[in-house]
Amino acid sequence: MKNNMESNNIDEIFKNSLETKEGKVSDGAWNRLEFMLDDFEIKKKKRRNRLLFFAASIAILLFVGVFHFSSSPTKKQLKIVEKKETLIDSNSIQISSNKEIQKIDPIKNEISKIEIHKNQKIVEIPIENPELMEVQISIKDTNIVANKKTINIEAEKLLALVEDEISEEEKNYTIKNPLTENRVLTRKMLDSILVAELDFNFKSTGIQIDAETLLAEIETEIDFDNSILDKSVLGIIKEKIKKLTTAVASND
Amino acid sequence: MKIIKLHITDKELIRDAIKNKRSAQKKLFDKYAPKMLSVCRRYIHDIHIAEELMLQGFMKVFTSLNSFQFNGSFEGWIRRIMVNHCISYLRKKEKLVFVESLPENPHLEETDEKIDAKQNAEFLQKIIDELPEGYKTVFMLFAVEGYKHKEIAETLGITENTSKSQLYKARNILKSKIKSQNEKQYGIQ
């Protein structure tokens, strides 16, 4: 008890003596503190501005990203890396693969694309109107030579397949005929001319021909070198027919 | 009739200081700086370092005024910031060394010396400065700041027993120095 009192006594002496003691602050102390406070404020503002900049950058990136993805085309795309058979009918598209089966329900007057990847080659088949989709493509063996392959095709179908390749700007064509004045040919008029030319040989009979023959026949009928149609349009048609027949042959 | 406000309370000054009004901050500084310098000086022997730590402590005070609850004493709040800042400094400088040895019953072994209550503050500060940092810090926290051993242990990162041991040794050294001083001054045996 006595020692406790002694301890408290010495504690009290120090407490009473030191607690009330005041030190002498140097003259420039406040100025130094003010400088430190100003510096702190500047750094705080810089930090806030940097944060705002980052926040704004992220917001802009998000906005651009959302805008980019929301404005991208709504075309349905099917990508098949490995497949044995592709079947297309008017109501649905069904792809059989040794690994998976994908199916898309009826296409409602939308342009759809099927990309077929096989042996590093890509075949794009644009389909504008499902009612015209009577094209049946069977791919069985890649080793069959192209000129032995056959295809059932009608003029309207061929035209439908070619249509997507022609951009909006090219939908009106100028006919360069030395006998008449240059005039604008509408897409509808062009379609009817093409259908008429192609149907002359194929539509009435729906005959089976091989790919090379088909191309040769079309070239003969349209007469690419002397046609009154614009060269770029003919070029697209020719290229498309070649691509189609080559792709079908190589994938058959 | 024009009423002139002569006295501005701490509360008003604090509210203005929160709004970054330099005049209010300066008034608070002028009012509390001498006391806080003394607080820092108790832990830090070098007066220049003590003042620098006090300014840094005030920086903390002004930048965290928002967190001050107007329930307790503002001076007590500042004092605690100052003490913690000084202890952080000592710990960073690795000046705080604690020897963990405690007698079974420390109170029974304390020297039984009569203490003259009228001691000079400068002398007390001098003998405090001569103590090892660990003893000095624990003694100051316990005797002057009023911390409990549990709080001291948490603040310094030591055990309560170490805190008690440091206090016991500090008291014995201080008592013996006061005794010597009394003998020299008054011839008390």
Ordered by where they begin, the domains of chain B are 10-92 (1.10.1740.10), 106-186 (1.10.10.10)
Number of domains present in the structure of chain A:
2
Instruction: Report the alpha-carbon distance of residue B74 to residue A94 in Å, rounded.
Output: 79
* Rounded CA separation B15/A64 (Å): 44
Q: What pLDDT digit, counting tens, does each position of B69-113 carry?
A: 888 889 999 999 999 999 999 888 876 677 665 444 444 444 445
- Whether residue B60 has pLDDT greater than 60: yes
Of A10, A22, A37, the CB nearest to B62: A37
Residue after which a domain boundary falls, among A116, A140, A164: A140
Same domain, A160 and A133: no
- Helix H or strand E segment including A10: helix A2-19
Confidence of residue B179 (pLDDT cuts 50, 70, 90): confident
Alpha helices in B19-159 (DSSP H): 22-43, 47-63, 74-92, 106-109, 121-129, 133-139, 149-156
Same domain for A184 and A82: no
Q: Do B112 and A37 touch (CB under 8 A)?
A: no
Inter-chain CB proximity B63 and A21 less than 8 Å: no
Residue B108 — left, alpha, or beta (φ > 0 → left; ψ -120 to 50 → alpha)? alpha
Contact A248, A208 (CB under 8 A): no
Q: Are residues A202 and A246 in the same domain?
A: yes
- What integer pLDDT is reported at residue A148 of this predicted model? 41
- On whether the CB atoms of residues A229 and A173 are closer than 8 A, the answer is yes
| Integer Cα distance of A107 and A90 in angstroms | 8
B182/B110: higher pLDDT:
B182
Q: Please tell me which of the candidates A4, A18, A37 has its beta carbon nearest to residue B124.
A: A18
**Residue A174, beta-bridge partner list:** A184
Rounded Cα–Cα distance for residues A188 and A30 (Å): 88
B37 and A23 Cβ atoms separated by less than 8 Å: yes
Contact at 8 Å (CB) between A231 and A170? no
Whether residue A166 sits in one domain with residue A252? yes
Token couple for B33: 């700086």
Q: Which is more confident, A70 or A169?
A: A70
- Do A208 and A236 fall within a single domain? yes
Interface test with A, best of B16, B40, B58 (most A CBs within 10 A): B58
- Residue (of B167, B170, B131, B135) closest to B150 by Cα position: B167
**Which residues 28-47 on chain A approach chain B with CB closer than 8 angstroms?**
29-30, 32-34, 36-37, 40-41
Mark which residues 3-22 of A lie under 8 Å from B by CB. Answer: 3-4, 6-7, 9-15, 17-19, 21-22
Do residues A135 and A146 share a domain?
A: no
- The residue range of the domain holding A222 is 142-252
Q: Which helix (H) or strand (E) holds A117?
A: strand A112-118
Boundary residue ending a domain (A108, A140, A172) = A140
Neighboring chain A residues of B106 at a CB cutoff of 8 Å? none
The answer to whether residues A207 and A237 belong to one domain is: yes
ipTM score assigned to the predicted complex = 0.77
Query: Smallest CA–CA separation between B38 and chain A, in Å?
Result: 5
Measured CA distances, A73 to A70, A137, A186, B60 (Å): 8, 26, 26, 57
> Per-residue pLDDT for A210 more than 50?
yes
How many other CB atoms are there within 10 angstroms of residue B172's CB atom? Answer: 18
A103 and A182 assigned to the same domain: no
Shared domain for A178 and A119, answered yes or no, is no
pLDDT value of position B84 = 93
Residue A234: phi, psi to the nearest 5? -65, -40
pLDDT tens track for A21-35: 888 899 999 999 999
Of the pLDDT bands very low, low, confident and very high (cuts 50, 70, 90), residue B63 is: very high
Shared domain for A135 and A148, answered yes or no, is no
Q: Do B35 and A29 lie within an 8 Å CB cutoff?
A: no
Q: Which residues, in sequence order, are bridge partners of residue A185?
A: A173
Torsional class of A206: left (φ above 0), alpha (ψ -120 to 50), beta (otherwise): left
What's the sign of the alpha-carbon dihedral A216, A218, A220, A222?
negative
- Using the 3D structure, point to which of A97, A112, A140 is the last residue of a domain: A140
pLDDT tier, A113 (very low <50, low <70, confident <90, very high otherwise): very low
Range in A41-45, A200-204, B17-21 the model is least confident about: A200-204
Percentage of chain A modeled with pLDDT above 70 = 28
Residue A36, min C-alpha distance to chain B (Å):
7
Question: B120 or A170, which is more confident?
Answer: B120
A183-185 vs A121-127, strand pairing mode:
unpaired
Residues A88 and A192 in one domain: no
